């Protein structure tokens, strides 16, 4: 039987990904939404989380897709009302708030799923398996996109807590940390801020690791050519290149075929994982990608660039 789920925060990512993924799944039934700006056709809508929680005790799971800065209050209310919670990435505005949510979920025996959709990229597991047992020599990330195309008019990405270019960059870090067999840590960063904005539009990162390797990452939101989401991993036995955000993998230039489950897509797999977590009474809260970003903010050298306007 399908589990009833509510979706809170009906913006671009909810419409593009969450709603179709839930609709296509036999595991889930979209039973209600929480939205201040109108919900979606044919689904019960509540203006506040409190209204949803009191009206619908039968809904056991809430998925939160609003911007991270306001997510904590919703998540806490849902957990305290005994509901399982899934968080879009990044799971919150601060590390401490997500740790505190995880503690509440654990105390109450509920599932908290801090999702990282890029970890469900079609070729993530294949890449991880291929790397197993190989010596990694270097890693190079290029995550170059056009903010105007992916966040049209979304001023929240430029507000404190909005992460700026780390909003896409954290996808690269979530994918990479899933694929790598060993950890890394940041040693230097340069963050470029538009003169009129509070978050960076570009970032260059240097890491020590995995193992004896070094990792470089270049994130840029000013890229109006081909959108590039690529990770190049050189090993002692060939080079793997993840591209299209992990949807494609090539080894020494030759494309690797995707498995059958790759067809279902990142978000359908996320919701599949959520169902498994609830079935097995587990949580999945890995703050690793967010820790690398917080480290970059703390350690980064700040530079100033031209003002940005949508």
Q: Give the active site residues.
A: 89
Handedness of CA 91, 92, 93, 98 (dihedral sign): negative
Query: Any contact of residue 2 with its own copies (CB under 8 A)?
Result: no
Q: Which stretch binds its own copies (CB under 8 A): 98-106, 109-117, 123-131, 259-267?
A: 98-106
Q: Which residues make Cβ contacts (< 8 Å) with residue 137, sequence separation at least 6? A: 213, 234, 235, 236
CB of 166 vs its own copies, minimal distance in Å: 8
Query: Cα–Cα distance between 298 and 270 in angstroms, integer?
Result: 30
Q: Which residues make Cβ contacts (< 8 Å) with residue 163, sequence separation at least 6? A: 68, 90, 157, 170, 199, 293
CB of 43 vs its own copies, minimal distance in Å: 31
- Measured from the CB atom, the residue of 97 and 244 that comes closer to its own copies is 97
Of 185, 211, 279, 306, the one binding its own copies (CB under 8 A) is 185
Of 184, 201, 240, 270, the one binding its own copies (CB under 8 A) is 184
CB of 16 vs its own copies, minimal distance in Å: 26
Query: Any contact of residue 189 with its own copies (CB under 8 A)?
Result: yes
Helix (H) or strand (E) holding 107, with range, is helix 95-108
CB of 240 vs its own copies, minimal distance in Å: 23
Of 27, 97, 142, 239, the one binding its own copies (CB under 8 A) is 97
Of 23, 188, 212, 237, the one binding its own copies (CB under 8 A) is 188
Total chain residues near its own copies (CB under 8 A): 35
Tell me, residue by residue from 43 to 82, as one string, x for binding to its own copies by CB under 8 A and - for no binding: -----------------------------x----------
* Burial call 4-17: b when 16+ CB within 10 Å, e when fewer: ebbbbbbbebbeeb
Of 15, 47, 99, 261, the one binding its own copies (CB under 8 A) is 99
Q: Which of residues 204-243 bind its own copies (CB under 8 A)?
A: 208-209
DSSP state of 37: S
Query: Cα–Cα distance between 231 and 175 in angstroms, integer?
Result: 9
Residue 296 · residue 187 · CB < 8 Å? no
DSSP per-residue letters across 282-299: --B---HHHHHHHHHHHH
- Measured from the CB atom, the residue of 186 and 201 that comes closer to its own copies is 186
Residue 277 Cα to chain centre, angstroms: 17
Tell me, residue by residue from 264 to 293, as one string, x for binding to its own copies by CB under 8 A and - for no binding: ------------------------x--xxx
Handedness of CA 170, 268, 229, 123 (dihedral sign): positive
Q: Which stretch binds its own copies (CB under 8 A): 27-35, 184-192, 216-224, 259-267?
A: 184-192
Q: Which of 148, 222, 168 is nearest to 192 (CA)?
A: 222
Which two three-digit tokens encode residue 127? 């890449």
Of 133, 195, 298, 309, the one binding its own copies (CB under 8 A) is 298
Dihedral (Cα; 83, 84, 90, 92), 10-degree rounding: 40
Q: Given the rule CB under 8 A, which residues bind its own copies? A: 72, 93-97, 99-100, 103, 160-161, 163, 183-189, 193, 198, 208-209, 288, 291-295, 297-302
């Amino acid at each position: 039987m399908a589990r009833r789920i509510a979706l809170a925060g009906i913006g671009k990512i909810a419409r593009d990904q969450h709603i179709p993924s839930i609709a296509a799944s036999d595991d889930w039934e979209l039973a209600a939404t929480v939205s201040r700006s109108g919900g979606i056709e044919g689904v019960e809508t509540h203006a506040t989380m409190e209204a949803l929680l009191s009206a619908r005790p039968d809904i056991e799971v809430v998925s939160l897709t609003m911007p991270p800065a306001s997510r904590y209050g919703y998540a806490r209310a849902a957990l305290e009302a005994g509901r399982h919670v899934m968080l879009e990435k990044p799971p919150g505005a601060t590390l401490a708030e997500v740790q505190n949510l995880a503690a509440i979920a654990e105390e109450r025996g509920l599932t908290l799923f801090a999702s990282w959709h890029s970890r469900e990229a079609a070729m993530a597991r294949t890449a991880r398996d291929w790397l197993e047992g190989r010596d990694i020599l270097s890693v190079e990330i290029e995550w170059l996109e056009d903010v105007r195309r992916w966040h049209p008019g979304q001023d929240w990405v430029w507000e404190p807590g909005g992460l700026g270019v780390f909003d896409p960059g954290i996808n690269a870090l979530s994918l990479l940390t899933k694929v790598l067999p060993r950890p890394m840590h940041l040693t230097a960063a340069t963050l470029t801020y538009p003169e009129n904005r509070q978050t960076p539009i570009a970032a260059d990162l240097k890491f020590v690791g995995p193992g004896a390797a070094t990792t470089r990452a270049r994130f840029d939101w000013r890229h109006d050519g081909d959108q590039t989401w690529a990770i190049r991993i050189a090993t002692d036995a060939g080079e793997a290149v993840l591209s299209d955000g992990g949807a494609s993998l090539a080894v020494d230039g030759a494309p690797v075929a995707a498995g059958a489950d790759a067809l279902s897509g990142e978000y359908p797999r996320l919701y599949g994982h959520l169902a498994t977590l609830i079935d097995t009474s587990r949580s999945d809260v890995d703050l690793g990608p967010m820790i690398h970003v917080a480290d970059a903010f703390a350690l980064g050298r700040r530079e100033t660039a031209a003002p940005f306007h949508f």
